[in-house]
Structure 1
């Protein structure tokens, strides 16, 4: 299984071209925490768990989310990967809504955001970040027969 935590410039360019520009986007975050945070040598916050490092990242991102008009929608503990490749397990699931993919990209490329990514990188053993849009007809209505 390929472990992924930090995006590349190529990833951001692909995101900007694949996601429609003028619709709200909800980012699906799948998070797997490190047992012990993995800060770079000499970092003043070395020590603590991956969850501790992610809590620091979460606290610091709040003002940036507000500026980007981002809204956390849902956060939950992942219990069991029912349909997934063997060994793929997640600790937490998080949904965050942005008014557009441009608002999200603007936030994650800002110098303020870049300064706090050390906490996210130290926290996570693995992650997935999936952009979703409400483009499916009937996406917010029950499926037939439900």
Structure 2
């Protein structure tokens, strides 16, 4: 099986932290759900038999108020259909782009104590993911 990614590596997270924090950012999220969520033993949801997708719904419910409080919004969401360019073996279940008014808002969210509790649901839900930071650009027009 190929390598999977749920949390950032220390080097990747440092590169993120080294970028400006006072500029708007957009975060591309690609998600591959587990068939069965994997919670830590003793967690309140560990014995519920949830799918990864259901655990991610719980992550959204519990992290959503924090995401909105820091000014986050979803600017695009989609369900994967097929790989056009890329490895045939990689299939994402879902993807979205989250907009933050600045990178500092993202840091405020991930360091919030309630977010730290909520993120357990994300970890339980995913077998693989990608999270990529982009500087927002103009929309509309052509590819150039």
Structures share a fold, TM > 0.5?
yes
Say how many residue pairs are matched: 141
RMSD: 1.8
Trace 1:1-146 onto structure 2 (pairs within 5 A). 1-18=2-19, 20-46=20-46, 47-135=49-137, 139-143=138-142
Q: Gaps (5+ residues) in structure 1?
A: none
Structure 1 residue matching 2:30: 3-state secondary structure: strand
Q: 1:16, 1:102 within 8 Å by CA — same for their partners in 2?
A: no
| TM-score, length of structure 2 as denominator length | 0.88
1:106-130 per-residue CA deviation (whole Å, 9 max, x = no partner) reads: 2112222111111000000000001
CA 107–10 in structure 1, closer or farther in 2 if over 3 Å, else same: farther
Shift in Å, 1:80: 0.9
